[in-house]
Amino acid sequence: MGISLTANTGAEYFGTVGVAMVTPFDRDGALDVNAGRKLAAHLVSNGIDALVLAGTTGESPTTTLDEKVALIKAVREEIGDSAKIIAGAGTNSTATSIAAAQASAEAGADSLLVVTPYYSKPTQEGLVQHYTAVASATDLPICLYDIPGRSGIPVESDTIRRIAELPTVKAMKDAKGNMFEAAPLIQETGLAWYSGDDPLNVPWLALGATGFISVVGHAAPALLRELRTSFEEGDLARTREINANTMQVLAVQQALLGGATFAKAALRLQGIEVGDPRLPVVPADDAQMEVLRRDMKKAGVL
């Protein structure tokens, strides 16, 4: 017997097994649209049903709005309706976030990922007003993104409850990891919940999460899909095996290198060239590549 997930899954807007896709660059550091097409097709053909474009791993702070829009259009043309495109539209400026949301909607995104405004450290009331303004700018479904390690502040439980009342807010990507607080929120708010931290993917499923928005999924898309399927089907032994032997091994490397650096290096080792990150993010050095190669072999993805 399978394990039932939450009734309001949100999969129709955000998929179930997502990857926060890197933004490919060429040797000169310019956007490589063709590489983006190929990577998107590779991930989708291996079981990924949602791609976050222009998220943190997509190097959103160092890519222009024109580059973001160009990648959305190219990936939409490449994959059609075979996977959801979730556009990262959150910044620390409400006006800039609105502009990104509207441009992403026009480019063909299915939904939006809107991170907590970073650096500015707004009050909780400021967060409510920010999300209200961004949500009012388009008709696209919105996934909140709570990651206090990057934003500097958490979205508090009562604030999540208030923001969840906005009609287009449909989901939460949780990289805060406070499961004690999140468990009742999943039930109370009706928001679809997505793991935003690969080491916690299985615990989040156990609490009723719909799925994941993953970084390590770049290196192991088919196994990431199998992990969720195994959980759904009640095969916890296989779920734990994939989690321990592949996902946790890769997650250690992702934590050491950082998301964009890890993902681009891992893809390079698999023969998928997407260029180096843009400064201030740096590529993996030779020693780091060798350790990554070893761990990817250990994880069964190389």
Is it true that the peptide bond before 280 is cis, omega within 30 degrees of 0? yes
CA distances from 221 to 210, 230, 300 (A): 17, 14, 12
CA 104, CA 114: separation in Å to the nearest integer?
A: 12
Quickly list H helices, the chain.
Answer: 11-14, 33-45, 65-79, 94-107, 124-135, 148-151, 157-164, 179-189, 201-207, 221-232, 236-242, 248-257, 259-269, 286-298
Helix (H, G, I), strand (E, B) or coil at 47: coil
Of 68, 84, 173, 176, the catalytic one is: 173
The answer to whether 145 is a known catalytic residue is yes
Of 302, 251, 259, 301, the closest CA to residue 284 belongs to: 259
- How is residue 150 written in tokens? 């990057």
Instruction: Give me the sign of the Cα torsion angle 147, 50, 73, 39.
Output: positive
**Long-range contacts at 120-127 (CB < 8 A, ≥ 24 apart):** 120/92, 121/152, 121/153, 122/153, 124/155, 124/156, 124/158, 124/159, 127/153, 127/155, 127/159, 127/163
Which contiguous run of DSSP H or E holds residue 115? strand 111-115
The answer to whether 170 is a known catalytic residue is no
Of 145, 176, 194, 264, the catalytic one is: 145
CA 88, CA 23: separation in Å to the nearest integer?
A: 12
* Amino acid occupying residue 271: G
* Amino acid occupying residue 269: L
Look up tokens 């994959």; give the residue: 79
> Which residues carry out catalysis?
145, 173
